[in-house]
Structure 1
Amino acid sequence: MLDTMGGKKSENYQQFQTLACDAFQVLRTNSNLLITLLVLALTCGIPELTSVNNIKWVHKTLMLDLPDDEARDAFKKLINRCVLRSRRNSDLDDDPDVYGNEPRASNYENRKWSMEETVEVDDGNQDQWIGSPHTLTAGFLLMLWIVNAAFHEPVEQFEDPDEQYAADVKRGTKYACVFFLTYCTLQLPDGHFLRPHPVVWRLLTGLFILYEMLLIMLLFLRTDDARQFMKVFDSSLGKELPETSYATDCRIYTPENEESHFANLRATFLDRFVIMHFFGWIVGSLMVRSKMISWTLSVMFELYEITFSHWLANFNECWWDHVFFDIFTCNAAGIYLGMKICRYFEMRRFNWVGIRKIPNLSGKAKRALAQFTPAYWMAYDWKIFRSAERFWRVVSMITILSMMMLNSFFLKTVLWVPASSNVNIYRLGVWYSAGSYAVAEYYIFCSFTMSYHGGNKTAVKKLGPRAWLGIAVVVTEVLVIFKHGQGMFTEPFPAYVKIIWALIFALVVGGSTIYFTFFNKPAVTEKKEQ
């Protein structure tokens, strides 16, 4: 049994597990013996015995079979120490007979969801300084910093009053943002992501809110003022961009080039955007955790490039660049590696122990590094064709993510931000970090259910705050593009583009209507029965 406590399944442990499962029905006639067995199973982490039904039965008999209040409280504490994470057809299995008549908000807000198993996550922070909020201390230090900056920080003096006013506004805005981010870090509620620390994800949420506020401000500026305002982030901005096309010479073989007879292929392959494409699709796959959705986004983006190539010069690419370098090289390799990482975390067994409970220094060091890895991992099963509602929710997510990717190029064009500017990296960093959170909350909105009075289940009706914010940011980006891009995108779409999208629209709408009307009747019947 010592091996069991250490997390290793020895031969004795497997024998005990088999015997315990076989003896379950016999022991059920004796409540005390069964409760003892389940206590041992919870301690050893046997998922076959610690299922929802068994825990439910113990809760029902607990008040009758345990001798006194002290024994009942001790057993309840043992149950509560374990985080029951159950997934039944992508639904949270929560019975009101066990947990009360009201839906447990913690099932939606609880960060510990993953595969069906009983898991105890101990980050060892409950009794440590880092695990405490320290809101008063942090607030006091923040105000000291602001007071020192306001009254004692050296300020550059300008002869021009307008320049002095602009410099003062910039300093005030900087410290206002610092105050806002500190407030978000200390006071925003925790979400589903824990590692490396909830503070990190609260800070990223605050940055996402600041980005949305920046977009709203740009929306109310004149176009020239908005372009000049971008100099705040990069002094080299505010200049009109030259048009760059990647389709000026689409030859594969270039015999006149002495350096390389395949100069065009070489130049494309060595372009730094190849690496950015590769890593971008790794992160994208980790966000959606679906090979089908990732490939759909990949192919659709190449269609977007063809669609808007008459508006954006850098969307003009050679055919072999679209097909081989983008879809089947950079995108495919990124999606493959991203899904491999997802599968690795799905199959991995997470058994976290607090740093203070590890006896040796090397173990503590490994545990400290593990703090920067996920505490648990949930595989997304989007079940796209389960119902028409689920299908259109996933299509909506694909549309929103596509708009987010397209906005990168249109924003650069209308605000005069070159591809080499770090502003693009800042935006993508905020989007990919906060966007992964938003996709997770959207998955919960699409897939999870909550239990109400009488055990009836209903879908989660409230969209998570970060998913809501992500949609708001995408919409605001589109509004900024529409306002500051007036007069830039006037050339009509070519006829072949209209034909392609008409066929795609007819296929998606018509095909889904036929499928969910005539070929998906069992799913509809099952939904009605539930």
Structure 2
Amino acid sequence: MSTKAISEELVHKQWVDAKIKAKNQTVSDDGTKSFFWRAHTVTVLVIMVIVLVYESLVESQVQDQSYNIKRGLIACASFFVLFGVTQTPDGPFTRPHPAFWRLVLCLSVIYEIALIFILFQTADDARQLLTHLDPNLGKPLPEKDYGGNCKIYDHENKESPYHNFWDKMDGFVPTHFFGWWLKTLILRDYWLCTVMSIGFELLEYSLEHQLPNFSECWWDHWILDFLVCNGLGIYLGMKTCEYFEMKPYNWRGLWTIPTFKGKIKRIVTQFSPYNWVSYDWQPFSSLKRWLYMIVLITLFFIGELATFYLKFILWIPPPHFLCLGRLIFMWLVAAVAMRESYEYLDNTLCKKMGTQTWVCLSILMTEFLICLKFDWETVTKPFPPDVAFWWSIFIGCLVLGTIFQFFIRPYFRPEHHHQSEADQNNRNKKQK
């Protein structure tokens, strides 16, 4: 083995050991492999063929074109999922089962295919397509105004003086809280989550001229959302991360555990992480990491905004299962994509973007293009002058700060001068 190959192997081993065993974390596994962990490729193939034989030779034909088309599409998607779950490589997560995360990858590909199909339709046709999932869709939405009267205590309303406050206590409150709890488990960093929480509230201020439900009272933005829901979600999310980080991981095969109570506990812990990798983003350590963080935050904002714009454009009411289902599904996709992205950034031997990251980026861009195509007038409404002014100031400060941090400030550091003197001395020695 060459010296370069040995060096690369050592670097990779050091990265893995440092991330998995950071901060006294220990991982042990007795290596027990059971029926539960096998791929079962032959079993799945046999079952699939039996189902196809039954459908083609035994089941009576239905003379309903729409019904047959739907069943055919479901069968095609099911075949792709079965192929992916049994044949695609494992991702970075192994709990509760590697096949689960292969399933998430396959479903994300199917979702992207559906988005591309919708992209090639008109807005009205896309809305009518959704009626095949729910006949109640395809109707314009009555937008709820979250602004209006912002008095917390309305003395004019004797029966319910706090009606403005209780009107804001809808499904978005638990969505904000649990959403940021789960997003913190993905990002695993206080400052990054806080910056994104503040940034999204500012985006709502900036885009309320496009979407009416972004118009909220000041206390709804900064007290109910930012401090209470988002802040509590971020805090509990980081506490959860700290628990998983410090927890010792001792895995034993289910059938090697003697007691019934121990077996039940082992089954429950199957739904917890196999190990835990803490994310140390270090955004100011290099220009590459700084630009990566800017791109990461931007992509997160695009995904967050797509939730609101898609339901507005495609006429999907907020309580609908499609909205909640997309949020949960995209959280699963983002969890894998973030793990792959962090290794791509942090591990010098990782030269290829992860598969789930690639699909996730495709989904975000396709959703963004759907919003642009179907409602260009809304998405391209110009910012009010004051909003445009402050965003110009922010972007200017961001550019100037980046130039100062990575191109000007290094020349004023003592170590830079010592390094320059050392380089000059080396050059003088070579000349002599």
Common fold by TM > 0.5: yes
Residue equivalent to 2:115: 215
Distance 2:14 2:159 in 1: 60
Q: What secondary structure sits across from 1:487 in the alignment?
A: helix
> By how many angstroms is 1:384 displaced?
0.7
Residue equivalent to 1:480: 370
Residue equivalent to 2:28: 120
Matched, 1:461 2:360: no
Q: What secondary structure sits across from 1:351 in the alignment?
A: strand
Contact 1:387 1:523 in 2 (8 A): no
1:243 is matched by which residue type in structure 2? E
Distance 1:527 1:332 in 2: 44
Residue equivalent to 2:294: 395
> By how many angstroms is 1:466 displaced?
1.0
> By how many angstroms is 1:148 displaced?
2.2
Mark the runs of 5 or more structure 1 residues left unpaired by the alignment: 1-94, 158-163, 451-459
Percent of aligned pairs with the same residue? Answer: 35
Matched, 1:147 2:147: no
> By how many angstroms is 1:115 displaced?
2.4
Residue equivalent to 1:258: 158
Structure (1/2) with the larger helix percentage: 2
> By how many angstroms is 1:265 displaced?
1.3
Residue equivalent to 1:340: 239
Please list the CA deviations of residues 448-490 of structure 1 after superposition, one character each: whole Å capped at 9, or x if unmatched.
112xxxxxxxxx3311111111111101111111111133445
> By how many angstroms is 1:151 displaced?
4.3
Contact 2:283 2:290 in 1 (8 A): yes
2:402 is matched by which residue type in structure 1? S
2:145 is matched by which residue type in structure 1? S
Change (3 A) 1:381 1:249: same
Distance 2:153 2:386 in 1: 29
Q: What secondary structure sits across from 1:449 in the alignment?
A: coil
The 5-angstrom pairing of residues 98-109 of structure 1 reads 100=6, 103=9
Please list the CA deviations of residues 250-289 of structure 1 after superposition, one character each: whole Å capped at 9, or x if unmatched.
1222123234322111222x31210111000001100110
Contact 1:185 1:202 in 2 (8 A): yes
The 5-angstrom pairing of residues 55-134 of structure 1 reads 100=6, 103=9, 114-116=20-22, 119-122=27-30, 124=32, 126=33, 128-134=34-40
> By how many angstroms is 1:491 displaced?
3.5
Q: What secondary structure sits across from 1:310 in the alignment?
A: coil
Q: Highest CA radius of gyration, 1 or 2? A: 1
Mark the runs of 5 or more structure 2 residues left unpaired by the alignment: 423-432
Residue equivalent to 1:357: 256
Distance 1:358 1:414 in 2: 54
Please list the CA deviations of residues 197-236 of structure 1 after superposition, one character each: whole Å capped at 9, or x if unmatched.
1010000111111111111000111221111011122221
Contact 2:26 2:249 in 1 (8 A): no
Residue equivalent to 1:186: 86
Q: 1:408 aligns with which of 293, 307, 310?
A: 307
Residue equivalent to 2:391: 501
Contact 1:109 1:191 in 2 (8 A): no
Distance 1:523 1:397 in 2: 32
What's the TM-score, normalizing by structure 2?
A: 0.89
Distance 2:14 2:364 in 1: 25
Residue equivalent to 1:442: 341
Change (3 A) 1:154 1:333: farther
Contact 1:96 1:102 in 2 (8 A): no
Matched, 1:241 2:147: no
Residue equivalent to 1:267: 167
What's the TM-score, normalizing by structure 1?
A: 0.74
Greater RCO between the two (CA within 8 Å, min separation 6)?
2
Please list the CA deviations of residues 347-392 of structure 1 after superposition, one character each: whole Å capped at 9, or x if unmatched.
1121222223222221122112111111100110000110111101
Distance 1:518 1:260 in 2: 59
Aligned length: 417
Q: What secondary structure sits across from 1:120 in the alignment?
A: strand
